[in-house]
Chains A and B, each alone.
Chain A
């Protein structure tokens, strides 16, 4: 049973516009959420995180929103740039150290 779902396998956005990536989860015990970015032939790298005591966290062009009641989080990228083209994984933290990854969303930024 998948605890973390990223229902959009792919997303295509025009350069300069907003990219919105979504993630739904089922486990109400998750209290810390991370987003990772992955380029082909490289390992995932940490992008941004949010604690369940917040509903928003911002870092430059990247903002993560958390709706605990809906068990939903989203990653906003504004403005989108060609270098943002990658696979993005939503990863809630389970227990002290174990990350549970979603299926990933492949984001393509078109010039």
Chain B
């Protein structure tokens, strides 16, 4: 069964900490995405990558960075966590067909 795996389901971090959210896919997909989900706002795209070592800003990249050193792994980095980054973070990957989006189960991050 194909999978997108996010390393943590729940995470609690302190304000100012550097936070790493990891995502791994086993489908050999070219494209990977990081979204955050907030009530009333839907899913908003933070960053995406179409290839190894490639990254592009999404709609809300401020306060975040990403790393894609290997095709199967896409990491989201919160440089200095703030309380307004408390959210559900969802990673997805896709092949070059739109139906091919597969999401991970999400990481609920709380910044205190």
The smallest C-beta distance from A57 to any residue of chain B, in angstroms, reads 12
Binds B, one of A36-44, A66-74, A77-85: A36-44
A36 to B101, CA, bound (A): 10
Q: Are B90 and A43 in contact (CB under 8 A)?
A: yes
The smallest C-beta distance from A103 to any residue of chain B, in angstroms, reads 4
Residues of A within 8 A of B21 (CB): none
Residues of A within 8 A of B61 (CB): none
Give the size of the chain A interface in residues (CB under 8 angstroms): 25
Residues of B within 8 A of A103 (CB): 40-42
Q: In this assembly, does B48 line the interface, its C-beta being within 8 Å of a C-beta of chain A?
A: yes
Among A6, A44, A93, A100, the residue within 8 A (CB) of B90 is: A44
Q: Are B43 and A42 in contact (CB under 8 A)?
A: no
Q: Are B98 and A99 in contact (CB under 8 A)?
A: yes
Residues of B within 8 A of A46 (CB): 99, 101
The smallest C-beta distance from A96 to any residue of chain B, in angstroms, reads 7
Q: Are B96 and A96 in contact (CB under 8 A)?
A: yes
Q: Are B103 and A43 in contact (CB under 8 A)?
A: yes
Q: Are B42 and A89 in contact (CB under 8 A)?
A: yes
Among B92, B99, B103, the residue within 8 A (CB) of A34 is: B99
A22 to B76, CA, bound (A): 32
The smallest C-beta distance from B34 to any residue of chain A, in angstroms, reads 12
Q: Are B90 and A49 in contact (CB under 8 A)?
A: no
Q: In this assembly, does B74 line the interface, its C-beta being within 8 Å of a C-beta of chain A?
A: no
A13 to B39, CA, bound (A): 21
